[in-house]
Structure 1
């Protein structure tokens, strides 16, 4: 089992509570199978807990207690979707992934850990007008202007898009302003979670979707 650094244990225990063992099992699966299956780079194994598992778990600090449904777009290795499902068992989590080999991995993880996930092999845009969720998450999928076209039509009225970003977050928000507004995205905010707990806090761009916004995925102009 992939060891949890003691310096990170308080944060891990806060985020996963009595499901920390499940997080351990997922981290070990990812460390053992991730590199050979092309899910993570070999050098990522040694920093898997801080830069990936806890980095993703900190997103739950941005998810309100009343949220019921969540979709993770471009879930890939299960980051952040699987991690969120472990930390928040009260959520109905759907993982949306286009690549077959990654969708198979996600199904295997779900079977092994018993998380009750829904894995959908599809492009996000093919689900526009078909599915909607209280919260849609994404990590390292695309720049915010492009990501918004794929994800905001999946967000329910008054729901939110939570996109994990890095140092370019403010620049991406400014560039995406026109697209966000046309898709009903309002009040974009940049928040950081985990300061004082981890070396690199998690940066999340939060965009609320106003009620009665258009659900068309195409933006012209």
Structure 2
């Protein structure tokens, strides 16, 4: 009973053959600050199996762990590099919201939102390895689908006319398509497996402690 309670409290899972797991990163940027508690001009969050594992916002400007095992297992260098990456993405979003507003002939009276979600899903194999199943890389603007990457065919899909210039530009950059596919199918899966192992290792230690 104590072991079951520990599993629930930690939100951990054993790696069982056939199980599907996911690692997703979400980013959200506003065209200008809003005076509302808890709403930031830019936020970024990592999700392992739909549970937050890291977080960054434009107020604190530091990437921080959201799970104890993330804090305990990953070195400070990981968080320092992650913070720099999030700060760079914050600037990228600011520039691109301005571009989209001008493209759509929008003024700065209203608040506009640009969101990005990317990540992967993998199935646990009999030998314990993780097999890539799905990859996702998609953008949303003001609540509507904007642009997404077709991983199977290696092309960008424009959901609205305003996204066509970006689609044409990005489709013309072969290295970008190769990088996106490589991240989704390889690097993302590698991090997914590593995070799952870190989480499972903590579970083993808790189980060992519970048996004493």
TM-score (norm 1): 0.27
Bigger Rg, which one: 2
TM-score (norm 2): 0.28
Greater strand proportion? 2
